[in-house]
Amino acid sequence: MPFVKQAISKAKESTICPEGLHDLRCVKAELCRNKADNRDMVKIVLVVDDEDDCQPIVHYLNMTDGKEEYAGLHLLGQKRFFVCFNVKFEDDGFDPDDIVEATANVMVRHTPNNDDVERPFTRLDLPPIPDEDADDGGSTKRRRKAA
């Protein structure tokens, strides 16, 4: 078998994004299912544009049918993400494809990981929705253009 030339000696481990405000960019958004409770989610992969060699951050938007106990929190989490990242949405939903390439300056925080204290969980601390948007008045809804 022939020798395969690769720059393996240049490989290095990525680092965990430090806590603080960071410029984030969405590079992937896909529908998936939570294995634990079979709930639909959107898995979003974000890269940190203002730090070198940081691991991507994974953020989940929990979907809801409006009937479960935490439906309001799931919807609030979705709306905070969409407003913060300036992603189009409508009163009754959104297109995950509109998330890709969205950017925002967001607070990144760590929470302890009991299984691996050296690798804490990284999460987004999304800001509250501005007052003028809190009542669904529509001033920041990003409507899709008619085809």
Instruction: Give residue-wise pLDDT tens across range 7-43.
Output: 999 888 889 999 999 999 999 999 999 888 778 999 9
Residue 117: predicted pLDDT? 84
Give the burial class of 41: count Cβ atoms within 10 A of its Cβ; 0-12 exposed, 13-18 middle, 19 or more buried: middle
Judge whether 7 lies within some domain.
Answer: no
Segments of the chain scoring below 50 in pLDDT: 137-147
pLDDT of residue 144: 43
Residue 87 lies in a domain: yes
Question: How many whole angstroms separate alpha carbon 40 and alpha carbon 33?
Answer: 4
Interatomic CA distance for residues 107 and 109, integer angstroms: 7
How many distinct structural domains can be found in the chain?
1
In this structure, what token pair is assigned to residue 50? 């203002």
The 10 Å Cβ neighbour count of residue 57 is 20
Six-digit token pair at 87? 């992603």
What residue numbers bound the domain in which 31 lies?
15-134
Residue 103 placed within a domain: yes
Question: Rounded distance, CA 132 to CA 139, Å?
Answer: 7
Does 140 reside within a domain?
no
pLDDT at 32: 94
pTM, to two decimals:
0.81
* 90 located within any domain: yes
The answer to whether position 141 is within a domain reads no
* 101 falls within a domain: yes
